[in-house]
Amino acid sequence: MKTVTECVRPELCYSCTACVNSCPTNCIEMTPTGPVGSLIPSVDAGRCLRCGRCLQVCPALHDLSGNEPISVYAAGSTNEQLRNHSSSGGIATEIARNVINAGGVVYGSAIVNLEVKHIRVTSLQGLAKLQGSKYVHSRIYDSYRQVRDDLAGGMLTLFIGVPCQVSGLVGYLSKIPENLILVDLLCHGAPSQDCFEGGIKLETAEDVSSIAFREGNRYCFRGFTTDGACVFEMPYRASYWLNGFVEGSIFRECCYSCKYAGIRRYGDITLGDFWGYKGALNVDDGINFVSVNTEKGASVWAEVSKCVSWEPRTLDEAVPYNHSLTAPASRPENYERFKHIYAKSGGAKALLGAYPSKTVFVLFRRLVRKHRSLYSFVTKLPLLGKRLMEYPE
């Protein structure tokens, strides 16, 4: 029997770690040796039993059928403080609060010592670590095994992740028990942890202990020291790394052929930003797209919707503004060049060298940003001004 390393090409591996969690001899290790710093498995052949378990669980080798949404909503928490600390409307945190209040456990993504990874949370205070999107592939480590153990112990268990992580968990468990709630996020792509570290290096040489990616609806890359002092603050148009994330040029290679982009969903509930929302709810601090995809999702939503603001909406309204509901991100023309520089010289140099016209615009914005009067002058210039605010298509 073969192993995943013989059957899954590195550029198609989602780095979900289902294979690692499933291996009876723990002989699979994830290392950041894939394209553009992505994590890929390597097998210690001496300890491998050739049992084929890793092949059975791998989402790159098997397709889930998914579900089309039963209903769609725009929603946001009514708790202003909670909304401020969340990325969209805070509905992920509201669902998590319900689970903790019911005595359950929540798995989601946190930043620990600048590493983005999934953690297990059992208290309301602990949920603060999960709040806010981290626009980086979140490392799973042994979370799937922990989920399995919690489920076996009868705990109500919520797993929140991007669709390839939800799919990895489903593959690993092989069947979804009643006490597991799955929430998947709309996801247009995720850069590797290694690339993220390259992006931080381009902003500061100082030690930062935490990072924020959004301020309400605004994408902004900010780094803080342990005592909370802000070391850098770069709106996405002036940040090499965050600009690459928002414009989809620095994702891991698997994201450009992601089979989870589309209206079929893999969580009981799907959450995202409701870009293009035209309803009556307050959207100043962000608003969630919510789709309820299963009967279990409907009963979770029936509870959560009692204490949040929400409005029924349609999928058709969201689709034109959110490409992850239709197709994966387009692979940029210069992506091969990004990969090439990355392999030779690392993430920071690839971020600067792969897309020269973007780099020039970002650099220029960084310079004029320092001089507000110059910025307001150049951005008002006919033709050129607009180009300096927006990248050409």
Contact status: 108 vs ligand SF4 (CB under 6 A)? no
Rounded to 10°, the helix 143-152/163-173 angle is 50
325 binds ligand SF4 (CB under 6 A): no
Based on the shown chain and the rule CB under 6 A, indicate whether residue 18 belongs to the binding site for ligand SF4. Answer: yes
* Interacting partner of 155 out of ligand FAD, ligand SF4, none (Cβ under 5 to 8 A depending on kind): none
Number of neighbours of residue 327 by Cβ within 10 angstroms: 11
Choices 10-18, 217-225, 304-312, 345-353 (CB under 6 A): range interacting with ligand SF4: 10-18
Give min distance, CB of 266 to ligand FAD, in A.
13
Secondary structure E strands in 191-306: 210-215, 218-224, 230-235, 269-273, 288-292
At its nearest, how many Å lie between ligand FAD and the CB of residue 39? 13
Binding residue for ligand SF4, selected from 34, 37, 58, 272, defined by CB under 6 A: 58
Token pair, residue 276, equals: 């293009």
Residue 91 CA to residue 156 CA, distance in Å, equals: 18
Name which of 133 and 294 has its Cβ closer to ligand FAD: 133
CA atoms within 13 A on the CB side of 222: 14
Please give the single-letter amino acid code of residue 263: I
Q: Which run of H or of E encompasses 185?
A: strand 180-185
> Structure tokens of 112?
């620990």
Instruction: Give residues 23-52 in contact with ligand SF4 (rule: CB under 6 A).
Output: 23-25, 27-28, 41, 43, 48-52
Q: Write down the least CB distance from residue 43 to ligand SF4, Å.
A: 5
Shortest Å, Cβ 356 to ligand SF4: 25
Q: Which positions lie near ligand FAD, rule CB under 6 A?
A: 86-93, 108-109, 116, 130-136, 138, 160-162, 185-188, 190, 271-273, 288-289, 322, 324
Q: Which is nearer to ligand SF4, 260 or 277 (CB)?
A: 260
Tokens of residue 258, six digits: 């992601």
Closest CA to 269 of 188, 185, 170, 326: 185
Residue 260 touches ligand SF4, criterion: CB under 6 A: yes
CB 377 to ligand SF4: min, Å? 39
Contact region with ligand SF4 (CB under 6 A), list: 55-63, 81-89, 191-199, 288-296 = 55-63
Q: Which is nearer to ligand FAD, 38 or 87 (CB)?
A: 87
CB of 257 to ligand FAD, least distance (A): 16
Instruction: Walk across the sheet containing 157-161 and list its strands.
Output: 115-121, 105-112, 157-161, 180-185, 269-273, 288-292, 71-77, 308-313
Query: Where does 32-90 have alpha helices with state H?
Result: 53-57, 80-85
H or E stretch at 312:
strand 308-313
Binding residues for ligand SF4, per CB under 6 A?
A: 3-4, 8, 13-19, 22-25, 27-28, 41, 43, 48-54, 57-60, 162-164, 168, 187, 189-190, 254-255, 258, 260
